[in-house]
Structure 1
Amino acid sequence: MLHEVNGVELWVDTFGEAADPPVLLIGLSWPDELCAQLTGRYVVRYDLRDTGRSTYADPDAPAYDLRDLVADAAGLINGPTHVVGLGVGGFIAQLLALDHEVASLTLVSTRAVAPGPVDPDLEDHDAAVMGQLFGRPAPDWTDRDSVVDYMTGSAQLLAGSQGFDEQDARTWAGRVFDRSGKSAAAQRASHLGTMFAAIECGPRWRERLPGITAKTLVIHGDEDPFFPHQNGEALAAEIPNARLLTLPGIGQGLPRATWPTVVPALLSHTA
């Protein structure tokens, strides 16, 4: 359903009972089946601005900034909430934990600096994989089959040696397409989060990470070519008392192969 928050409308899906501990999932794609496995939790999943069924402005030249996206997330919280941020959603989650009270923080496949040049001590995107990823012909973003094929190829490049499931990749890409806007820009943003390359993300927040007081779990695949594992190590080292859960053979995200490990970890962390 649509919720009016911070001057925009965000599409929100929930799983579980409202009386259970709340868990806010931030990111571009959280499969229904994974959300449903977080039993005993009130799971809140939402479409960011310019994605899915939420408010569209201009994904290629957004007028909002990263702090507006943080304010959007804060507007969905009613009391201390367990916050989980995946990929670029991890940027929002880190700032939410720094500037608002959260019950716990989980950071998945993310890093401590915004899009653009990384700090000298952090490992950047894998150049060879990025060349393959962005060197392919772009799909017809208005054609479902073209987008599903393209995103399945992307999933394979980013999955690591143990993370790729073609059927899951095709199913999830199709679901994202079906819930997103009809324009090419809307589809690109919904699948790739392209607005993060255009929005203003300053000021830096990495130096503030020692100020996070919420208990923190960092989950990161050791074969992640987009935000290499060393970025997860840095987050776990710089956030006080954070715990690092490394997923062997896994790249970006939480493919089905990780769920037997990740679901119990999330349930324990959000207890």
Structure 2
Amino acid sequence: MSERMIYTAGVELCTEHFGDPADPPVLLVMGTGASMLWWEEGFCRLLAEGGRFVIRYDHRDTGRSVTYQPGRPGYTGADLVGDAVGVLDAYGIPAAHVVGVSAGGGLAQLLALGHADRVLSLVLVSTSPAVPCGLELPPPTEEFMRFVSTAQVDWSQDASVIEYLVGYERVLAGGRRPFDETAARELVRRDVERAHDFPAVQNHDSLPEGEHSREPLSSITAPTLVIHGTADPMFPFGHGRALAQEIPAAGLLALQGAGHGIGRADWETIARAILAHTAAAGNPQVY
């Protein structure tokens, strides 16, 4: 494990890598509103121990990457896609296996559409089609919408931010499995304390999309595996099923009772699936 600052498109991003650079590269793209810490170290090590060179990084306005004034990000969602390319360039990697979770899965789709030559394979976790697909997608759960519409937070007070984010993680967990509040609180605390200016993460909520590929998901050529929890309250399971239907020959792994994101209880299952998928890199299957 080694942290490294890189420069791309005139900005500084914080990255970290695990494993042997001679191994097949895996780029981890986190969702917006979250730093690379949400790709937890233990999970990254499972992939590295499986023979992969793993890179995670802080998006703009998260962690130790470039930070903008809250309310004035000065970049677009398309810039975040470009940042993924910039990370690969900084490491001298022509193409990588790309794993994206939540909105990071959306960025990964756009990366595969706009920079197909940089993507060896795709793994899309807890995400939704990044471009219109013509399929009816289920709405978020009532509990999720209730939290989003009623929760209050004072972004100037770390304690308030931590309580809000722990509550958010509890809702995202989906309610089917026990929620490890101690682990969630520790991760949230580390994320808040590590950031240059944590309130700047709010910029992700109002990013303009910018220009990106308008090609349909059916034009994605990278071997794709979709991984989705059956109790995801933000993007219910139908979102994952739609991705698997729209992307040619995509595999689908359903995580029974899992919520949104990569829970520790699913680390080994997800890691094994990623290792198998990236090894095949062209022969996806239904799990």
TM-score (ref. length: structure 1): 0.89
In the other structure, the counterpart of 2:21 is 18
In the other structure, the counterpart of 1:34 is 43
1:64 has 2:75 as partner:
yes
In the other structure, the counterpart of 2:125 is 108
In the other structure, the counterpart of 1:124 is 139
Structure 1's unaligned 5+ residue stretches are none
| Whole-angstrom CA distance in 1 between matches of 2:248 and 2:135 | 22
In the other structure, the counterpart of 2:110 is 95
| Whole-angstrom CA distance in 1 between matches of 2:259 and 2:156 | 28
Alignment partner of 1:237 out of 223, 240, 245: 245
Aligned residues: 261
Checking the alignment, whether the CA contact within 8 Å between 2:101 and 2:261 is kept in structure 1 is: yes
Checking the alignment, whether the CA contact within 8 Å between 1:88 and 1:196 is kept in structure 2 is: no
Return 119-128 or 70-79, whichever deviates more: 119-128
Alignment partner of 2:270 out of 239, 257, 262: 262
The amino acid across from 1:167 in the alignment is T
In the other structure, the counterpart of 2:220 is 212
Distance change (3 Å), C-alpha of 1:249 and 1:122:
same
Q: How far is the alpha carbon of 1:259 from its aligned partner?
A: 1.2
TM-score (ref. length: structure 2): 0.84
Q: Secondary structure at the match of 2:216?
A: helix
What per-residue deviation string (whole Å, max 9, x for no partner) do you get for residues 89-136 of structure 1? 11210011112121110111111147xx99771122223322124412
Distance change (3 Å), C-alpha of 1:202 and 1:5:
closer
1:180 has 2:189 as partner:
no
| Whole-angstrom CA distance in 1 between matches of 2:126 and 2:267 | 15
| Whole-angstrom CA distance in 1 between matches of 2:158 and 2:75 | 28
Distance change (3 Å), C-alpha of 1:146 and 1:34:
same
What per-residue deviation string (whole Å, max 9, x for no partner) do you get for residues 48-100 of structure 1? 01111101123423221111111110111221200011111112100111121
The amino acid across from 1:109 in the alignment is S
| Whole-angstrom CA distance in 2 between matches of 1:255 and 1:108 | 11
Checking the alignment, whether the CA contact within 8 Å between 1:158 and 1:224 is kept in structure 2 is: yes
The amino acid across from 1:153 in the alignment is G
Structure 2's unaligned 5+ residue stretches are 280-287
| Whole-angstrom CA distance in 2 between matches of 1:54 and 1:34 | 22
Give the aligned CA root-mean-square deviation in angstroms: 2.1
